[in-house]
Amino acid sequence: AQSVTQLDSQVPVFEEAPVELRCNYSSSVSVYLFWYVQYPNQGLQLLLKYLSGSTLVESINGFEAEFNKSQTSFHLRKPSVHISDTAEYFCAVRESGGYNKLIFGAGTRLAVHP
């Protein structure tokens, strides 16, 4: 069975500063990895995903994540955050060969301050 650990429940940061949200996973098989974002009072939206190929994946709004198989990590980064990035971020994993069921981490609340 897979599991996901998000190492920080809350991350406060000032606007235009860099940020890293950490995610580690556990699985005995190959996995696909995802980051979802949840803005206040909304459902989750897919931010980016790693399926295969290049280990560095990017989103359209400047976030990136790198798959590190040896460290079983998929940390999310952004070099300069905006107030509008304030949201809760969820890392998720699923087996590459199994049913399409995502297992989510507990979430990291990113709070961007002016």
Partner 1 sequence: TAGITQAPTSQILAAGRSMTLRCTQDMRHNAMYWYRQDLGLGLRLIHYSNTAGTTGKGEVPDGYSVSRANTDDFPLTLASAVPSQTSVYFCASSDTDRDVGSYTFGSGTRLTVV
83 φ, ψ (degrees, to nearest 5): -55, -40
Is residue 61 close enough to count as binding partner 1 by CB under 8 A? no
Is residue 89 close enough to count as binding partner 1 by CB under 8 A? no
Nearer to partner 1, 15 or 59 (CB): 59
Using CB under 8 A, which of 16, 69, 106, 113 touches partner 1? 106
Is residue 113 close enough to count as binding partner 1 by CB under 8 A? no
- CA–CA distance, 5 with 108 (Å, rounded to integer): 10
How far, in whole angstroms, is CA 75 from its chain's centroid?
6
Name the DSSP class of 41: T
Q: Which residue has the tokens 């049913």?
A: 99
Please report, as ranges, the residues that interact with partner 1 according to CB under 8 A. 4, 6, 9, 32, 34, 36, 41-46, 49, 51, 90, 92, 94, 99-107
